[in-house]
């Protein structure tokens, strides 16, 4: 038995006219590593340096710090990447007329407030200087691990 796999001209035209499926949404940067992480960070850097900071950066003060090496603060990278993803979703054609207002209200204000808070990820960084942060210590014991086996008695 043979199966006819030919396509009629009408079917070919319908396939050619069908819109391509949309690309998959970008992955959150904390799920990336290696080259994928580097490419995502590069895109984020371009947006941060050419859109976000020139328009929304405001002056750096002790009550509103900004680190010149923001990419060395994982929390800042995560927050800014989320902000950038929301920007792409809400300020493009699919965002609708109120998309930019939603982005400003729901995303820009909270993220910039968190990043520029005196106790936020840039605490200790001064104009033109970066200070690495110490992460909180964590007890080495895992309280949720299975208990160790009882000692063997001979």
pLDDT (tens digit per residue) in 46-62: 999 999 999 999 999 88
Average pLDDT for the chain: 89
> Mean pLDDT, to the nearest integer, of 57-68?
92
pLDDT band at 3 (very low <50, low <70, confident <90, very high): low
Q: For position 77, what pLDDT does the model report?
A: 98
| Residues 95-101: contacts with CB under 8 Å, at least 24 apart | none
Residues 63 and 115 sit within 8 Å (Cβ to Cβ):
no
- Kindly report, residue by residue over 27-42, the tens digit of the pLDDT: 999 999 999 999 999 9
| Residues 28-32: contacts with CB under 8 Å, at least 24 apart | 28/78, 28/81, 28/82, 28/85, 29/77, 29/78, 29/81, 30/74, 30/77, 30/78, 30/81
């Amino acid at each position: 038995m043979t199966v006819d796999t030919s396509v009629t001209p009408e079917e070919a035209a319908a396939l050619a006219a069908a819109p391509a499926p949309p690309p998959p949404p970008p992955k959150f940067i904390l799920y990336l590593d290696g080259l994928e992480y580097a490419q995502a960070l590069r895109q984020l850097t371009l947006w941060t340096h050419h859109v976000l900071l020139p328009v929304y950066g405001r002056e750096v003060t002790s009550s509103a710090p900004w680190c010149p090496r923001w990419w060395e603060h994982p929390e800042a990278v995560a927050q800014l990447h989320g902000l950038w993803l929301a920007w792409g979703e809400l300020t493009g054609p699919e965002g609708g007329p109120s998309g930019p207002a939603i982005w400003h209200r729901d995303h820009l204000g909270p993220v910039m407030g968190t990043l520029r808070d005196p106790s936020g990820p840039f605490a200790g960084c001064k104009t033109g200087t970066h200070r690495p942060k110490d992460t909180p210590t964590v007890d080495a014991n895992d309280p949720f691990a299975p208990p160790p086996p009882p000692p063997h008695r001979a």
